[in-house]
Every structure is written in C-alpha cells, then in structure tokens.
Amino acid sequence: MGPLPGGAAPAPRQRAHEVPLSPQLAERLRLRAVEEALPLKSLLATAHVAVLHRVCGVDEVVTGVVSNGRLEEEGGDEAIGVFLNTLPLRVDTRTATLRDAAHAVFAHERESSPHRRYPYMRMQRDLGDALSLDSYVNFMDFRRQWKVTGPTGALILDGVGVAETNYPLAVNFLYDPVQGGLRLWLDCDESLLDADLCARLTGYYQRALEAVADTPGAGFADVTLVDAAERARVARWNDTAVTYDRDLTVHALIEHQARVEGQRVALVHRGQSVRYAQLDARANQLASLLKDRGVRRGGRVGVSLPRGPELVIALLAVMKAGAAYVPLDPGYPQNRLEFIASDADLDALVSLSTGPAGLPARAVVHLDTADVASRSTAPVRVGTDGHDTAYVLYTSGSTGRPKGTGVRHHNVVNFFLGMDARIGCGPEDAVLALTSVSFDISVLELLWPLTHGARVVIANEGLINNLVRAPGADGPEGDDAFAELCRRHGVTLTQSTPSFLAAVAAEPAALAALEGARAVLVGGEILPAGLVDRVCSRLPRVRLFNMYGPTETTVWSTVHEVDAVKDPRQGVIPIGQPIANTDVLVLDAAREPSPIGVAGELWIGGEGVSLGYHRRPELTAERFVPHPSRPGRMYRTGDRARWRADGVLEFLGRVDRQVKIRGHRIEPDEVEGVLSRHPQVASVAVVAAARANGGAELIAFVSPGPGLLDKGAEEAHVQRWGEVWENAYTDPETGARGQDLDRDFSGWLSSYTGEPIPPAQMREWLGHTVERVRALHPRTLVDVGVGVGLVLRHLAPHVERYLGLDVSAAALRTAAASLGSGPLPSHVTLIHGDAGHLSTLSTDAGHTVVINSVIQYFPGTEYLTRVLDEAARVSGAKGAVFVGDVRDLDLLEAFHASVQLHKAPALMPARDLASAVARQVAAERELCLSPSFFREHAARLHRPVRLELKRGHAVNELTCFRYDVTLGHGVQAPVPANASVAWDTLPGDGDRSEGLARLLQARKGPFRVTGIPNRRLVKPLQLVRLLHAATPAQTAWDVERALWDADETRAVEPEAVVALADRHGLTVRLEVPTSASTGTFDAVFELKEQTR
C-alpha cells in the first residue's frame, strides 16, 4: 500500500478527530450487517479500506485490524495485561464490490483467528521488516461486559481519549454503551499526516460508511469521497478566466511592435542586431516569396536554419504566409529530420544550401541563394486568425516515433497572456534565447519578448559547453559564452532546464553573471531542492520560477515562484498554479477528483489545449478527452501530481515511473528530491532495479559536488594501492625485473582464469598503446604511474625529456632497470610520488601527459578531475593528455557477467548467477568510467577529445571492456556531419562488410561510419539480457546454451575493419560512439598521407 500523504514535523503530535455519525446511519449499518450475515466490524473495516483506497491512491490496500488475543481458558478474563494485537489485512479493490470486501474481511478474521496472538512486532522481525503498516482499524464493543457504574458507584460518562500509537492513523469504532449508538474517532499523528487532510478524513469516513450501508454492490471506484465543498475549493484555485481576443495572431502582436517601436532593437546575435522595423520588413519579404512558391493558409513549412536572426525571421514569415512552421533543427540526426519532414507533408522548406539535404518538401527556399531582399516589404494578407495553426512541433513518443502537435495562434496568444501576468516582460527586458527551436519553450524565448518590444539575445548552439570564457579565448567563442552574453547584453530573463541551470550553478562565474537578471525560469524536468538552495543562496535578488507544462497544452501551463526559504525544506519544489484561462484537475483511475493532498494523474484544460497530434487521430482521441464538467477538451498528461492544501500543485513524476518496493508504492522522483538537498550532491538519479529474488530495490546514482570526498580518505586510498604494488613488485617469484618484458607482464592476471594473460597478447596491447602515444609527437613526456617502465623503455629514447611518477619505490627501481644497468640517462627523471606532483610543473609547458592503465586505482572522480585539470594545465595548447586502459562503466555488468559465467558450475541456478553478477558490480573497487565523463570534462575545458577502442586481435578483457582517451593537441577536427554514413544504411542484409568495402573504394576523403556493431560485445551484452530474464528453472548451462544462438553475423570484428582500411590505402580510428548505443563503434577513415 502506498504511504499516507504526509506532513513534515519531526516529533509525534497526536490529535483525535471525532467523526459525526447519525443514529440513522448506525442503524442502516446494523441492518446491513444482519442482511449480509456479517459482524458489524467487517462492514466498518470495509469502509476503512475504501478510504485508504482513495487517499493512498492504490488498488491493493494493506492495513491492520485490531484483534483480541485474551486467553479463552477459564479465568482468562481475570488475567491482567493488554491482550490486543494487530493483524495485517490485505484487500484487492480492483474487482471487488464493497459487499465482496466485507465478506473477505470476515473470512480473513476467521482464518487468522488461530494466529491472533502472533505479535505484530514479531511478524515484522520474522519478515525482515518487509511488513509495515500505516494504519489500523479497531472496533470496540463492551456491551456485554460494560458496567454502568464503576467500583465506587459513580456513573462513567465517557470512555474516549487519544491513543498514543506508533501508527500515523488509528481508526477507532466504539459501540457506546453509555450514550448508545456508534461512535468513530480518528487518532492522527499530525507530524506524519497533513493536518488539513486529517480534518477532511472525517468527511471521507462518513461518506464511505454511507456507501457501505446503502450501496454494497458498488465497486470501490464508485465510492465518492470528495464532497461539493472540496470540489468548490479546487474550482476556486482553477478560477483563472481572463478575457482576451481569440482572433489575434502571434505575428500581428509583433507587427504592432514594429509599427510603434520600429527603431528599437529586436534581435541580437554575434554582434549583429536587427531592429523591429527590419524584422517585420524582412519577414514580409520572405512571406511573399513563400506565397509565390505555393504556400497557402493552413499549410506547413519546415524551417531548418542555424541559430540567428534569419531563424526568427523565417518563423515569422511562415506565419505571415498563413502557414504553420515545423522546426527542423539542422543539428538533429538526418533520419529524424527526414521522418518529420515526410510526416508533416511540407508545402515548403526554408533552409540554407549547406543545410540538411534530401528533406521532402514541395518547394525548397535556400535563404543564402534565393533573391529575398528584392521583394516587396508590404505585408502579405491571407486572412489568418487565431484559430489557424501557428506551429507543428514534433516530440518523441513512447514508441520512439515522433509525433507532431499542432498549436494554434490563440493557444500561443493566451500563453503569452499568462506569462504577462505571472512573469511580465517589457521594452526594458533582454531575454536570452538558448533553447533549440525544436523545443516548444523556444516560443517563450524567441517570440514572447517580441510582442512587448524587448530584445532577444540569441545564443549559439551548445551553450552548455561554453558557459564561461576559457583562459586565452579572445575570439568569437569566448565572446559568445553564457556569462559573456549575460553581462554584455544586460540579460534580465533566462529560461532553461534544471540540467542547464545545474551546469551554470557549477561554474561560479556563470552563476554570477545572472546577478543582474530579474527572473530565471526553469522547467521541463523536476527542479531539485538542492539546486534551488545553491541558486537562491548565490542570487538572493533574482526571482526563480518553476514552470510546468507539456507541449500539447502550449509551453507552460502552471507557474510557481520559488520561496527560497520554505520550498527546499518541503523536499518537492511545487509547480504552482494554472496560468490564465487554464484549469488543472488531479484525477484518480476512475476519473474522479483525487482528494486534496492525494496523488493522481494531472489533466489540463483551457485555452492552451492544442489541436492534437498531426495525422494521429487514434492517439489524439486517447490523450485529448472531453472535459468532465464543461465544454471543451482536456489533455491527459500521464504525470502524477497532487494539490497542496494552499492551492499549489506538486509534481510527483510520471505515472509509469512509480515503483512498488516491499508493498509500498514509491516515487523515485521524490527520493531524488530529498537526496538532491545534500549540499555535497551535484545531481542524482534514482532508478528501480530488479533483485534476484523477484523483488525490487532503489539505486541512486549520485554526481558528487565539491568537497564530497574526504581528502584524508583519498590519501589513504592512494597509499593503500602504493603498498599493494610495492608488495607485488618485490615478490621474488613474480616481481618484475625490468630486463625481461614477458616477466614484467606477469602481474597482469586474467579475471576469468586467475592466470597471467598470455605475453603475446600483452605485447600487442603495449604496442598499440605506445603507437598511440607516439602519434601525439611528444617532445617532453610526463608518465603518471610509470610502473615498471613498460611505456618508458619504448619512448624514452625518442623524447627530449621524460619524467616518470609512481607511488611505489620498487616500481621505480624496476623502471630504471628497464633502461639498462647503468645510471639513468640525463633526460630521464623518476620521482616517488603520486599524480599530485603535476601541480608543481609549469603551466602551458607543452608536455604530453600519459596516464596509462592507472586511473582505475584512483580514489574517485573528484580526484581524477583534479588530475585531469592539472594535466591539461601543464600540457597547454600544444601538448596532449593520453589516458589509457579506462575501464568502461557502461560495460561493467557485461564484463562481470562474462567472468561469472566462465566460473559458474553448469548446474548453478541462473538467478543465483545473476545475483553473483550483481554482487560483483556492487562490490567493484576499481574506478570505472562512462565515456560521457570524458566528453563532459573535455567540454568544460574547451578541449577536443577522442575516445578509441583498445586495439588488438586477441579477444580478452582488455580489448573488449576498456578504451583510450586523448585530450588536446593531436585530436583531429571532427568529421563534418555530411561526411558521416550510418552502418545500417550500407547495402547488405546482415554483415555489411561488402557494402563498407565498396564505400572505401568510392570515398577517399575523411569520413566516418557510425553505429558499427561490435562482434566482441554481442555475447556479453546478450548474456546480461538473458540473466535479467532468467527463470527459476534455468541453470548456468541453459544460459550458456542460449548464448550459442546469439547472432554475431550482423556484427563486425574491429580488427577486420582495420585490415579492410589498410587494403584500400586508408588509416582508420576505431572510436567509442558519441551516441548511447552500447555495443557499437564508429570508424573514421582517412588517406594515409592525411593522417596526422
């Protein structure tokens, strides 16, 4: 059962709430019990279940029923003590009627009677705390034993008090022998339950009891608890009616600004500014051209332009021509753009000649070649009004197929009206536009300010990777950094997702640039309370707004101005109240209003509700449904929310994200909100993972904030690994000597067999590593973790200076011996120390810093980040950083699965094997990193980065589950997007190697083939899937046999790609893909003379 809606007070605070029950209702209940041949207690417990069903929002209710465990032997009634016990009761409300449930309660009491003395506390202990109850129902009937006078002869007038229990809700029924009739009171712990809810519970129990008495054949879904007064309360919160002109269009509002404020600056981008009069005139010219190319009122025009004034001009021009614009961000994948263009059935496409090619449209206008400037600047009159579609915006559906939402002009105009009232915008404002036009929040950034004479500052793509000016970056990229744009243009309004704001908050200079802002708007994701703390503490004079709304109801539907003191303490940052002409309902599965404070699905109605989905009538009918109380439609968001008692909405996550753990329904989003409040947590994601026993557990992935790691713990960790290697290198049997390479490999043991990895495989591994470092043309080389000198002996003769660092003195002696028996060459220096020694080296020295096969022993990502920052500093603009042999976190489960299967007895249960894998993953002591870590780090440093597969013909843990990273000088410029070919587009049904060969024959310039399936990972990844789906009857042998059927014919051996390139006179780099497609790789081909 889901937990009862709670409060936040730390100490218990019991309060009794009397529930008025009329004598008539008590009599109807008594007669119903007689008719059904049931004890009255069963009917009362059923009413209790009906309330919990609604209040907890669950179909399966688990509660406690108080049972009398007094001894039944002769004299048992004279025994002194408390003999009451609580027995758990489970009722499935999905198909049962109230009558069915009452009989089930009675049957449960009969069947559990032999166990009524089994103490509840012992049940909890025996079940491993898997049983937890929030409530109980207790029925007291003392008519047989009651004495009207006490021992002194005094009349006992009342017997009701407040029970001090450890249950949040205790429901007490008493058949009162003094005053007669049935009584009910609720003992509520208002430190755990919302006081407003407790007050309303009295009415809920009244109505539930009436339903049990009068309509026992009704289902639980038919029991209405919310009364007219509560409905009226919600209706007041939804009273947002404002008069506006529904015939207005977006471009008409902007045209008005052009007439009255024509010389005011409208758009700013990279030193270029466009005034309102210019904006309107140029949009009119393009609209005229579009009309001549066949665009008509009601049509659709794709807009695929880079960010800049031309983009905004094109959006306005399309609307002026009477059509709806369809955003096609040129940075999106080609196949997605092709699908959208085809599905939208474009009348025209506005693009550049260098933009995405091959998008279907009946006409194409290239702004860089079309003669637009010579056309008339007179307005194009086509009769558009507020009921025409302004834009069709495609979002990803649950099936992965994008769906286009058509939004009308009056939807947008009403949205602007709502923003005017809640946020406000005027000529003095400068609004930073940073969101892709393919997201509907760009409407607020690009168009809303233009209806008020404000300036729109258009940021470039990828602003999250350019938050502050990098040291020495004096060019356009530095000028276009987030902080520079905010300061230079006096930005007063910004809007972003919480993810972007978190990145800004992590850069003190970027966050400080918002000190002059009037308001910061965030939405699109849950706003973590911890992020609110960080932002509001640094920007105390800036108003922070949390926005909510799906594309289908026009950008934002609710707004909440964050209270920096109150809101973070609540744990969940509210999404606020509906904007103008918008109403929101929180409904349960039966489409009945959820009680205030109780979670339900969020439905949105009003003037923001869009047309629906383009060419998707079935989906439109499913999601856009008739309003339950007035004309019009509502949109089912699929999001969970609840009303707070003060009329503010809280967002609780997706309906389909709720998970059940130990019988409790849990909201991972709420857990994320609590964890995010920790000052040393930068970001957090909580997911539910299946356990081998069939249950589930929550796993939190935390990105540490500054200072999360204990520096003393870091030093101890490094020292411990130093001792490990010191012992390994001094072992007389296996220790390295420095002169025998094969012996120096003896410490490299296979995780599968425990035996040394064959020397031939290790020599190949080392050879490819040395080759990659040599390709960086090092002049001076810093080797962090020099070890026994595997890299040193091959590269020291070829550099001007070689500095080696290691935490093991024995390793350094062996490294020195690898260069010969005499003294060290004068250009070689070996130092006993860790990576912290980098901080003593001079800045921008042009070093090549090598950190090979050592970061897995680092204490954590914070330590690694400091080391990489120092390495980047000393390498400078002309040096490079090579990080070799990185263990891939994304493949960690596949690695451990393959190891454990190799070791498992054939008859080991498959689920036990899955548990062993899970334990190994959880117990992993070495630092494993997702490739995204290095990409994000490189973006922060404004450095190019390259991630490559480990080379080698041997298939082992080194070549399957590890990769190399190169940062800085020597990383080739990215291959242009139009020079990329997707593997699955090559000819062939399975293995497309022949298609690749033909491509290599035809194309000689640099180009990339993406998404090549890696044959080495087919079985490990399939093994993970098999273990996740393992049944109780399966064994390790069954899993291994199933692996034989894994289809490797569609995948490619990476070294085969290298050989194929070599036959065609090409070099190739095998790179870790930038997409999240685990199990594939990209190949970048170049002519051998082009390779640097």
- pLDDT band with cut points at 50, 70 and 90 for residue 609: very high
Q: Can you tell me the distance from the alpha carbon of 252 to that of 431, in angstroms, rounded to the nearest whole number?
A: 20
Give pLDDT tens digits for 956-970. 999 999 999 999 987
- CA distances to 34, 1079, 1084, 1091 from 1007, in Å: 84, 21, 6, 12
Give tens-digit pLDDT for 556-607: 999 999 999 888 888 789 999 999 999 999 998 888 899 999 999 999 999 9
With a cut of 70, say whether residue 856 has pLDDT above it: yes
The amino acid that residue 76 corresponds to is G
The pair of structure tokens assigned to 38 is 């049931």
Other C-beta atoms lying within 10 Å of the C-beta of residue 89: 21
Is residue 709 within 8 A of residue 863, CB to CB? The reply is yes
SS3 readout for 52-86: HHHHCCCCEEEEEEEEECCCCCCCHHHCCCCCEEE
Token digits for 190? Answer: 């208002």
Residue 471 tokens, joined: 């040291």
Q: Is the pLDDT of residue 792 over 60?
A: yes
- pLDDT over 70 (residue 818): yes
Among positive and negative, which fits the CA dihedral 588, 591, 592, 597? positive
Least confident of 148-157, 188-197, 669-678, 745-754: 148-157
Q: Is the pLDDT of residue 527 over 70?
A: yes
For residue range 694-733, what is the model confidence (pLDDT) as tens digits? 556 788 888 766 555 555 556 666 566 565 555 555 554 4
Q: What is the pLDDT of residues 356-396, one digit of tens each?
A: 999 999 999 999 988 899 999 999 999 999 999 999 999 87
Q: How far, in Å, CA of 558 to CA of 544, rounded? A: 14
| Over residues 766-792, mean pLDDT | 94
What's the confidence (pLDDT) of residue 863? 86
234: tokens are 């919600």
Alpha carbon distance 940, 770 (integer Å): 28
Mark 1003-1021 as b/e (b = at least 16 C-beta within 10 Å): eeebbbbbbbbbbbbbbbb
How far apart, in whole angstroms, are the C-alpha atoms of residue 719 and residue 89?
Answer: 56
Residue 607 phi/psi, 5-degree rounding, is -75, -10
Mean pLDDT to the nearest integer, 220-230:
92
Q: Using one digit for the tens of pLDDT, what is the confidence trace for 324-339?
A: 999 999 988 898 899 9
Q: What is the mean pLDDT of residues 981-997?
A: 85
Q: What's the rounded Cα separation, in Å, for the pair 748 and 564?
A: 54
Residue 81 is predicted with a pLDDT of 45
Strand order in the sheet with 1080-1087: 828-832, 801-806, 780-784, 848-852, 880-887, 962-968, 945-949, 1066-1071, 1080-1087, 1007-1013, 980-982
pTM of the complete model: 0.66
Instruction: Say what the pLDDT of residue 155 is.
Output: 38
**Lowest mean pLDDT segment, chosen from 44-53, 85-94, 209-218, 1065-1074:** 85-94
**Max mean pLDDT range (338-352, 502-516, 655-669):** 338-352
pLDDT of residue 1088: 80
Please tell me the predicted confidence (pLDDT) of residue 163.
47
Residue 71: its pLDDT value, please? 52
Average pLDDT over residues 927-955: 92
The residue-averaged pLDDT of 488-514 equals 93
pLDDT band at 142 (very low <50, low <70, confident <90, very high): low
Angle of the 276-292 helix axis to the 250-260 helix axis, nearest 10: 140
In this structure, the chain runs to a length of 1092
| pLDDT, average across residues 1021-1041 | 92
For the residues of 42-54, what is the DSSP string, one character each?
A: HHHHHHHHHHHHH
Looking at residues 798-813, what average pLDDT do you find?
Answer: 91
- What separation in angstroms does the CA of 408 have from each of 284, 298, 554, 584? 21, 11, 9, 20
Cα torsion angle, 524, 525, 527, 530, sign: negative
Q: Which amino acid is at 972?
A: Q
> Out of 428-437, 511-520, 755-764, which region has the weakest mean confidence (pLDDT)?
755-764
User: Does the pLDDT value for residue 29 go beyond 90?
Assistant: yes
**CB-based contact 394:326 (threshold 8 Å):** yes
> By the 8 A CB rule, do 162 and 187 touch?
yes
**CA angle (1029, 1034, 1040) in 5-degree steps:** 85
User: Which percentage of the chain shows pLDDT scores above 90?
Assistant: 60
d(CA 163, CA 96): 32
| Pairwise pLDDT comparison (20 vs 737), residue with the higher score | 20
Model confidence at 793, in pLDDT bands (50, 70, 90)? Answer: very high
Q: Which residues of 571-586 are buried (b: 16+ CB within 10 A; e: fewer)?
A: bbbbbbbbbbbbbbbb
Are the C-beta atoms of residues 367 and 351 closer than 8 Å to each other?
yes
DSSP secondary structure of 714-737: HHHHHHHHHHHHHHHHH-TTT---
Please state the separation of Cα 519 from the chain's center in Å: 25
Q: What is the DSSP string of 99-117?
A: HHHHHHHHHHHHHHGGGTT
For range 9-36, the mean pLDDT: 87
Bigger pLDDT: 721 vs 930: 930
Give the H or E element holding residue 649: strand 649-654
Look-up of token digits 């609209």: 287
CA–CA dist 724, 936 (Å, integer): 32
Query: What CA–CA distance (Å, rounded) separates 1068 from 1084?
Result: 5
Q: Are 410 and 387 in contact (CB under 8 A)?
A: yes
pLDDT at 151: 41
| Alpha carbons 979 and 1007: distance in angstroms, whole number | 5
CB-CB contact of 486 with 496 (8 Å): no
For the stretch 66-69, contacts whose Cβ atoms lie closer than 8 Å and that sit 24 or more positions apart, written own/partner, are 66/136, 66/137, 66/138, 66/139, 67/109, 67/112, 67/113, 67/116, 68/116, 69/116, 69/117
- Bridging pattern class, strands 659-661 and 664-666: antiparallel
- Measure the CA angle with vertex 515, ends 511 and 518; round to 5°: 120
Residue, of 13 and 15, whose pLDDT is higher: 15
The predicted-structure confidence for 81-131, as pLDDT tens digits, reads as follows 445 677 888 899 988 899 999 999 999 888 877 766 666 667 767 676 566
Asked if the model's pLDDT at residue 286 lies above 60, the reply is yes
What is the rounded average pLDDT of the residues 160-180?
A: 71
Check whether 318 has a pLDDT greater than 50: yes
Q: How many CB atoms within 10 Å of residue 707?
A: 10
- State residue 150's pLDDT score: 44
Nearest to 717 by CA among 927, 886, 922: 927
Burial class (CB in 10 A: 0-12, 13-18, 19+), 843: exposed
Reference 1040, options 932, 913, 944; nearest CA is 913
pLDDT at 643 over 50: yes
Q: Which residue has the higher pLDDT, 896 or 942?
A: 896
The whole-number pLDDT of residue 726 equals: 57
Partner residues linked to 980 by β-bridges: 1008
Q: Does residue 272 sit in helix, strand or coil?
A: strand
CA distance 497 to 513: 17
pLDDT at 836 over 90: no
Q: In sequence order, what are the residues at sequence separation of 6 or more whose Cβ sits closer than 8 angstroms to the Cβ of residue 829?
A: 801, 802, 803, 804
pLDDT, position 95? 86
